[in-house]
Amino acid sequence: MQLNLSRPICFFDLETTGTNVANDRIVEISVLKVHPGGKEEKFTWLVNPTVPIPAETTAVHGIKDEDVADKPKFKELATEIYNLIKDSDLAGYNSNRFDIPLLAEEMLRADVDFDMKNRHAVDVQTIFHKMEQRTLAAALKFYCQQELTDAHSAEADTIATYEVLKAQLDRYEDLENNMKSLADFSARKKLADFAGFIAYNKDDEEVFSFGKHRGKKVDDVLDQEPGYFGWIQNADFPLYTKKVLTAIKLRKLNTKI
């Protein structure tokens, strides 16, 4: 089944130095841009992360320090990648919880003001887990009767994710073939930031989703404990979380003027 697209969608996958969204770095990124009408474009970059790649991570994706030593740093690629994806919805496998948050961190470190306003994020893993509870390799075999070769290569995983989503739409009649519906279905909960430290409650108000203020409205915490803002800004939280919190604080100040 072809995707029902009103604008392009970029399937993408990252290979990284680890799984810490705030601190780890991209070593490979692959993007498959699918346009309305079905035209496809593939792009893959190896990236110098500027930090050592741990041996246990290399054991997963096979990328060593020497493989990326002469490759461009993400800051050198950021504008090119942003221009490629800025008109598109995004899709990936576990992308809502990992790839999009980490990509946002890298973009912000490169001084590119990345956000997801006015576009959709489709997480194929969430659709799969809600329907079948398996891994990407199992998903490809289950839905497409294909073996996933070269797993943990960004390009192979990206293409597999695209094929699985098309097959999911063929299999499940109750899945609507539009990106907003798929994004809503694949969302785990409504978040204000990518990493999940600030969420929305049933009244669509920002609340903290961690620590001693879990479930409390951000506005109330900023009023009652002003130092909490400074603590988050100086602590090891993702840059995008800090950006969202700053925007909330500025919004509060503006309403008081």
pLDDT in tens, 1-11: 889 999 999 99
Determine how β-strand 9-16 pairs with β-strand 26-34: antiparallel
Are residue 37 and residue 164 in the same domain, yes or no? Answer: yes
pLDDT tens readout for residues 95-116: 999 999 999 999 999 999 998 8
Predicted confidence band of residue 214 (pLDDT cuts 50, 70, 90): very high
Q: What is the pLDDT of residue 152?
A: 79
Q: Does any domain span residue 170?
A: yes
Cα dist from 123 to 27, 91, 93, 162, 218, whole Å: 21, 6, 6, 11, 27
How many domains does the chain fold into?
2
138 has a pLDDT exceeding 60: yes
117 lies in the same domain as 157? yes
pLDDT band at 132 (very low <50, low <70, confident <90, very high): confident
Amino acid of residue 167: A
Residue at 193 is within a domain: no
Q: Which residue's entry shows tokens 């919190």?
A: 245
Query: Is it the case that residue 256 has pLDDT exceeding 70?
Result: no
User: What pLDDT score does 257 carry?
Assistant: 60
Is the same domain home to 210 and 242? Answer: yes
Domain-located, residue 69: yes
Residues 92 and 160 in one domain: yes
What contacts 169, CB < 8 A, 6 or more positions away?
Answer: 1, 3, 175, 177
End-to-end CA distance of the chain: 53
Asked if 242 and 232 touch (Cβ cutoff 8 Å), the reply is yes
- Residue whose structure tokens are 């009244």: 203
Same domain, 128 and 252: no
Residue pair 248/219 in contact (Cβ under 8 Å)? The answer is: yes
Select from 248, 242, 214 the least CA-distant residue to 230: 242
Point out which residues pair with 11 in neighbouring strands: 32, 91
Q: 218 lies in which domain range?
A: 198-256
Q: Residue 237 — pLDDT band, cuts 50, 70, 90? A: very high
Residue 192 lies in a domain: no
| Separation of alpha carbons 126 and 121, rounded Å | 11
The answer on 203 and 151 residing in a single domain is no
Q: What is the rounded average pLDDT for all residues in the chain? A: 93
Share of the chain above pLDDT 90, in %: 82
In 3D, which of 148, 103, 143 has the Cα closest to residue 127? 143
**Amino acid 167: pLDDT:** 96
**pTM for this entry:** 0.72
Q: Are 47 and 122 contained in the same domain?
A: yes
Domain termination residue (choose one: 186, 217, 233): 186
pLDDT of residue 129: 85
Cα→Cα distances 59→34, 73, 156, 159, Å = 31, 22, 17, 22
- The DSSP 8-state label assigned to residue 52 in this structure reads P
Same domain, 53 and 154: yes
Relative orientation angle of helices 154-171 and 124-131, to the nearest 10 degrees: 50
Give the model's pLDDT for residue 133: 56
* pLDDT tens figures, 10-35: 999 999 999 999 899 999 999 999 99
Q: What is the pLDDT of residue 255?
A: 73
**Beta-sheet strand order (sheet of 89-92):** 40-46, 26-34, 9-16, 89-92, 121-123
* 191 domain residue, yes or no: no
